[in-house]
Amino acid sequence: MGEWTAWVSDGAGTPGVRTGSMQVVTLGWSQEINAHDQITVTTPAFGGHPDIGALQPGRSLIWVLSDGVPITVGWVTAAQIDVPGETVTWTAVGPMAYFDRRIITTAVTQTAADVLDVARSLITVAQAKPSGSIGLGLDTTTAGVTRDLEILVSDHEKVGEVYARLAEEDGFDWRITPRWVGDTLTATLEHEHPAGGQATGRPITHGTQIDITSADWDGTGLATTIVATGAGSGDTTPTATATIDPGAGLLTEDVVSATDVVDPSVLGQVAARVVARTATAPVRLTGLLRPHPDVSATQPATGEIVDLTADLGPVQIADTRYRVVAKTVAVDQAGTELTTLDLVEAGRFV
């Protein structure tokens, strides 16, 4: 069992420089690939507690640490005081959610630029505005693939929405990584291209490291043919089609829109990535990690590809690569930690 603490910093002042720390009474934290972390932290609300006054919804960042190691960080969006219970429950979302509340106010014109440089430039420009920085660091990874992008100020597009669209169109994953740099907590936006996760060879066995509680099939989004449409209108709209032979199954079709893309070859890549996910109904496994004194030995990171072995009766999995697509951590008042993983076959991510 780790010792969980919550540290406070001023997202609009000096992000990452602690203004206070508190013990965690309870914690709920969920993380998914290419999505904002969802954090609910309950802390004591002692009268005159200096750290409570330091937290301001809409301004502050809250960092969650286990045994002094930063696990997640969020932009505080709400607070609820339980007066009889003398606690405060803080609600926070991953820092990238901040950019869903920012509008592109400087025209974007990128020509033959690396796709990751294009995505990062949106965050760089947004944080350069007065009172617009939450201190989010950016990696320098490049994809070796280029694209054009033009966005007019008159489009009034939101930074976060455009960034998410680029991740889908250009096929990259992103994550926020909190870490110590000296005595300062930092959060860095990191990228991986092409998307797909890193295979670590970590063995995970049902009944040993994890207890699989459910195996779900979802065929509501089936499509063996995907048509991707790009920027334009009417007969001038560029399109590309990708198909996976349904074999003995039914032909199913769908359309996806990539409104920033004009190059048919790029649209072809978009269609191919989507159809790889939609051609068959995925098996999504949910399992509860077993407690282990060495947390790092049994806690895969979100996005990691593990070697899973499980005998689930109708589902037989033998040393098959599965990707961790979501993680949920719950800590109760007794300090008991429960970690749940969602896993999907890694071959569905290309």
Give per-residue burial for 318-334: e unless 16+ CB within 10 Å, then b. eeeebbbbbbbbebeee
- Is 310's pLDDT higher than 50? yes
Burial (CB < 10 A; 0-12, 13-18, 19+), residue 140, is exposed
Task: Output the pLDDT for position 47.
Answer: 55
pLDDT band at residue 316, thresholds of 50, 70 and 90?
confident
Q: What is the pTM of this model?
A: 0.87
The answer to whether the CB of 270 falls within 8 A of the CB of 258 is: yes
Burial (CB < 10 A; 0-12, 13-18, 19+), residue 21, is middle
Q: What is the DSSP code (8-state) at residue 249?
A: S
Task: Output the pLDDT for position 64.
Answer: 94
Task: Output the pLDDT for position 296.
Answer: 46
pLDDT digits (tens, 9 = 90+) for 188-217: 999 999 888 888 889 999 999 999 999 888
Which tokens in the block code for residue 19?
């203004």
Q: Which residue shows structure tokens 């990238």? A: 96
Q: Which has the closest alpha carbon to 199: 308, 329, 328?
A: 308
Task: Output the pLDDT for position 15.
Answer: 60
pLDDT band at residue 13, thresholds of 50, 70 and 90?
low
pLDDT band at residue 49, thresholds of 50, 70 and 90?
low
pLDDT band at residue 293, thresholds of 50, 70 and 90?
low
Distance of alpha carbon 34 from the chain centroid: 3
- Is 104's pLDDT higher than 70? yes
Whether the domain at 4-95 and the domain at 199-218+282-348 fall into the same CATH topology: yes
pLDDT band at residue 153, thresholds of 50, 70 and 90?
very high
3-class SS letters over 114-162: EHHHHHHHHHHHHHCCCCCCCCCEECCCCCCCEEEEEECHHHCCEHHHH
- Is 19's pLDDT higher than 70? no
Backbone angles phi, psi at 221, to 5 degrees: -110, 20
- Is 299's pLDDT higher than 60? yes
For residues 186 and 20, which has the higher predicted lDDT (pLDDT)?
A: 186
Task: Report which secondary-structure segment, H or E, holds 6.
Answer: strand 4-10
- Is 303's pLDDT higher than 80? yes
Give per-residue burial for 210-231: e unless 16+ CB within 10 Å, then b. bebeebeeeeeebbbbbbbbbb
- Is 171's pLDDT higher than 80? yes
Ordered by start, the domain boundaries in the chain are 4-95, 99-192, 199-218+282-348, 225-278
Task: Output the pLDDT for position 89.
Answer: 92
Which tokens in the block code for residue 217?
């099939």
For residues 327 and 59, which has the higher predicted lDDT (pLDDT)?
A: 327
For residues 45 and 79, which has the higher predicted lDDT (pLDDT)?
A: 79
pLDDT digits (tens, 9 = 90+) for 226-283: 999 998 878 888 999 999 999 888 999 999 988 888 888 888 988 998 898 888 887 8
Question: Residue 335: what residue type?
Answer: G
Among 12-26, 35-49, 94-108, 313-327, the range with the most confident prediction by mean pLDDT is 94-108
Task: Output the pLDDT for position 122.
Answer: 97
Q: Which has the closest alpha carbon to 278: 318, 310, 249, 239?
A: 249
Task: Output the pLDDT for position 54.
Answer: 66
pLDDT band at residue 55, thresholds of 50, 70 and 90?
confident
Those residues with Cβ within 8 angstroms of residue 235's Cβ, 6 or more apart along the chain or in another chain: none
The rounded radius of gyration (Å) of the Cα atoms in the chain is 22
Task: Output the pLDDT for position 71.
Answer: 93
- Is 121's pLDDT higher than 80? yes
CATH 2.40.10.10 corresponds to the domain 199-218+282-348: no
Distance of alpha carbon 227 from the chain centroid: 26
Q: Tell me the mean pLDDT in the region 156-165.
A: 96
Task: Output the pLDDT for position 290.
Answer: 87
Its CATH architecture, for the domain 4-95, is Roll (2.30)
Task: Output the pLDDT for position 350.
Answer: 43
- Is 84's pLDDT higher than 60? yes
Which tokens in the block code for residue 49?
């507690």
Distance of alpha carbon 83 from the chain centroid: 34
Domain 99-192, what fold?
Phage tail protein beta-alpha-beta fold (3.55.50)
Greatest Cα-to-Cα distance within the chain, rounded to the nearest angstrom:
69
